[in-house]
Amino acid sequence: MTQHVTDTVATRTPAEASGRPEWWRDAVIYQVYPRSFADSNGDGIGDLPGIRARLPYLNELGVDAVWLSPFYASPQADGGYDVADYRAVDPMFGTLTDADDLIRDAHALGLRIIVDLVPNHCSNQHEWFRQALREGPGSPLRGRFHFRPGKGADGELPPNDWESIFGGPAWTRVTEPDGSPGEWYLHLFAPEQPDFNWDHPAVHDEFRSILRFWLDMGIDGFRVDVAHGLVKAAGLPDVGHDGQVKLLGTQAVPYFDQDGVHEIYRSWRRVLDEYPGERIAVAEAWTPTVERSALYLRPDELHQAFNFDYLGTGWNAAELRDVIDRSLSAMNAVHAPATWVLSNHDVVRHSTRLAGGDAARGLRRARAATLLMLALPGSAYVYQGEELGLPEVVDLPDEVRQDPAFFRSSGQDGTRDGCRVPLPWSGQAPPFGFGPAEQGPSWLPQPADWGRLTVAAQQGDGASTLEFYRRALAVRREHPALGAGRRITWLDGPEGVLAFRRDSGSGSFVCTVNLTGSPVALPTPGTLLLATADVEPGAPTTVLPADCAVWWSV
């Protein structure tokens, strides 16, 4: 049998060599979108006390860390990714004391907490931006953002041809304090999200101080929003072609992935390393290639980056094998762990994305995709609700939608609300235990038939998606050959089937995935540990049903 080992670097990191693997190298990190997780006070919006009350649920699920999307003071023009005060909790989510309690309780359970950091832009209600508007052209505060005079006879045209990720020009013209039409400011996202000017030293100082503020509160790491966007090409040159960059896109443009960003991350790494324990940063970096992404993860920069190539790969064995190989080689080259992710708050939930219009098939594939992801070396990200097999909500009425991309859409699909619908916890009718009241509100409406998908309905049901996730995460913890390490050994298999081995000092393990629409017979590699469908291990072969994954110990 031919075997191909994906491994470019044989050396080990100091922690691996000393036998103490760094926690983040194979951590399973659960993303909480606070508005939609659990509402403690019945206003229809999830909040920090709601999350705190559900920490035991996350602990039982078996994840290692929780990443919280932004809960800072914000007018919520972009779901909190428009921060007005980086050191305050928005009253809608609670208080700093609630944050402190949440961090403390999480740690008591052995869960780490990662918070979102949004350094590319702030809210137009941030004090610096309000002051910059008040002070007028040429003022020092304007220097912390990208203000420019417009083009055209009266400055009526934007300074360059950059487009907002959410549609329309990336520039908005302001009215000066004297009432005249004035300068334009840059916003790569919504007009309510002015971009910081990272050429300005005050911006650097401010963010190092914000890092320390949250590190002092005891958090274990940061998820760095739009990590590739901070530095813009000198002179803000035109892109020179149309073609709007999509969310998570990979085009080379003068406002993304400029080499200057790396100096910023080196300085942040020095701050992180000042703190005891292993405090980490994970980059949301959309770059043209996985090799460019790996640059953010050199040993003196950040720790991990989301693998959007993997998320964007369809249900196709050859393409998945290719992206797995490319990811492992690129990450091994900089001694960083690979990461794997299938869903987040910006994309269509994978049970719907992989369904091809058939919900039952979507759920089968979603579970198989999860077993595949959890068998790969590195760190895996789970988005809230995927452990319940939640589908994307595709029929939200326009009047309840809040995604700014929906309102400015020009090519961007603008449908990020469908993956942000509040979680169903219990009961037979909305809000399904999301809030305390039996018929309380929820900021987005939940489908009436979600009673069968609640945590309470799935708990204890061996056939449920929730119990499947719990078992998978428990097995992953028991078997160090899953997750840990940095290599996989591909095994031969028929077309449309992925099969690979993972070895560790304490045992070996095989993962087989049938991505075809029909049953396939494979040599039985060992003892069945876990399968996403009914599988009867046979000798010498076992039949894998369509869209099914199996873990074997060997």
Supply the residues annotated as catalytic: 225, 274
Contact between 225 and ligand GLC by CB under 6 A: the answer reads yes
In angstroms, what is the minimal distance from the CB of 151 to ligand GLC?
Answer: 26
Asked whether 423 and 434 are in contact (CB, 8 A), the reply is yes
By beta-carbon proximity to ligand GLC, the closer residue of 162 and 189 is 189
| Binding track over 230-249 against ligand GLC, x by CB under 6 A | -----------------x--
Torsion (CA) 30, 32, 36, 38 in degrees, nearest 10: 90
Contact between 425 and ligand GLC by CB under 6 A: the answer reads no
Contact between 392 and ligand GLC by CB under 6 A: the answer reads no
Asked whether 325 and 6 are in contact (CB, 8 A), the reply is yes
- HSE-up of 162 (CA within 13 Å, CB side)? 27
Element (H, E) at 97: helix 96-109
Contact between 189 and ligand GLC by CB under 6 A: the answer reads yes
- Phi, psi (5° rounding) for residue 106? -60, -50
Contact between 71 and ligand GLC by CB under 6 A: the answer reads no
| Binding track over 90-129 against ligand GLC, x by CB under 6 A | ----------------------------x-----------
Contact between 45 and Ca ion by CB under 5 A: the answer reads yes
By beta-carbon proximity to ligand GLC, the closer residue of 189 and 214 is 189
Asked whether 221 and 114 are in contact (CB, 8 A), the reply is yes
Among 47-55, 155-163, 181-189, 399-407, which window interacts with Ca ion (CB under 5 A)? 47-55
Query: How do strand 541-544 and strand 520-523 relate by DSSP bridges?
Result: antiparallel
Element (H, E) at 470: helix 465-478
What region does 239 belong to: left with phi over 0, alpha with psi -120 to 50, or beta? alpha
By beta-carbon proximity to ligand GLC, the closer residue of 81 and 469 is 81
> Sign of the CA dihedral 315, 316, 319, 321?
positive
Q: Could you tell me the maximum CA-CA distance found in the chain, to the nearest angstrom?
A: 84
- Of the candidates 255, 236, 242, 244, the residue with the CA atom closest to the CA atom of residue 149: 236
Asked whether 183 and 89 are in contact (CB, 8 A), the reply is no
Contact between 86 and ligand GLC by CB under 6 A: the answer reads no
- Three-class HEC string of 318-355: HHHHHHHHHHHHHHHHCCCCCEEECCCCCCCCHHHHCC
Contact between 417 and Ca ion by CB under 5 A: the answer reads no
By beta-carbon proximity to ligand GLC, the closer residue of 214 and 286 is 286
By beta-carbon proximity to ligand GLC, the closer residue of 203 and 510 is 203
- HSE-up of 50 (CA within 13 Å, CB side)? 28
In angstroms, what is the minimal distance from the CB of 174 to ligand GLC?
Answer: 21
Contact between 78 and ligand GLC by CB under 6 A: the answer reads yes
| Segment 124 to 163, residues that bind ligand GLC, using CB under 6 A | none
In angstroms, what is the minimal distance from the CB of 13 to ligand GLC?
Answer: 29
In angstroms, what is the minimal distance from the CB of 252 to ligand GLC?
Answer: 18
Residue with tokens 């929003």: 225
Among ligand GLC, Ca ion, none, the one that 39 touches (CB under a kind-dependent 5 to 8 A) is: Ca ion
In angstroms, what is the minimal distance from the CB of 443 to Ca ion?
Answer: 9
The closest residue (CB) to ligand GLC is: 81
Asked whether 225 and 116 are in contact (CB, 8 A), the reply is yes
Contact between 444 and Ca ion by CB under 5 A: the answer reads no
Contact between 39 and Ca ion by CB under 5 A: the answer reads yes
Binding ligand GLC (rule: CB under 6 A), the pick from 81, 86, 434, 469 is: 81
CA–CA separation, 335 vs 294, rounded Å? 9
By beta-carbon proximity to ligand GLC, the closer residue of 249 and 507 is 249
CA–CA separation, 61 vs 31, rounded Å? 13
Asked whether 363 and 351 are in contact (CB, 8 A), the reply is yes
CA–CA separation, 36 vs 443, rounded Å? 8
Contact between 95 and Ca ion by CB under 5 A: the answer reads no
> Sign of the CA dihedral 150, 151, 156, 158?
negative
Contact between 346 and ligand GLC by CB under 6 A: the answer reads yes
Q: Can you spell out the DSSP letters for 407-446? A: HH-SSS---GGGG-SPPP-SSSSTTTTSSSSTT---SSPP
Binding Ca ion (rule: CB under 5 A), the pick from 7, 16, 22, 43 is: 43
Among ligand GLC, Ca ion, none, the one that 225 touches (CB under a kind-dependent 5 to 8 A) is: ligand GLC
By beta-carbon proximity to ligand GLC, the closer residue of 356 and 407 is 407
Contact between 64 and ligand GLC by CB under 6 A: the answer reads no
In angstroms, what is the minimal distance from the CB of 81 to ligand GLC?
Answer: 3
Binding Ca ion (rule: CB under 5 A), the pick from 8, 9, 16, 41 is: 41
Element (H, E) at 53: helix 48-53
In angstroms, what is the minimal distance from the CB of 42 to Ca ion?
Answer: 7
CA–CA separation, 286 vs 306, rounded Å? 9
In angstroms, what is the minimal distance from the CB of 540 to ligand GLC?
Answer: 48
In angstroms, what is the minimal distance from the CB of 224 to ligand GLC?
Answer: 10
Binding site for ligand GLC (CB under 6 A): 78, 81, 118, 189, 225-226, 247, 284, 345-346
Binding site for Ca ion (CB under 5 A): 39, 41, 43, 45, 47
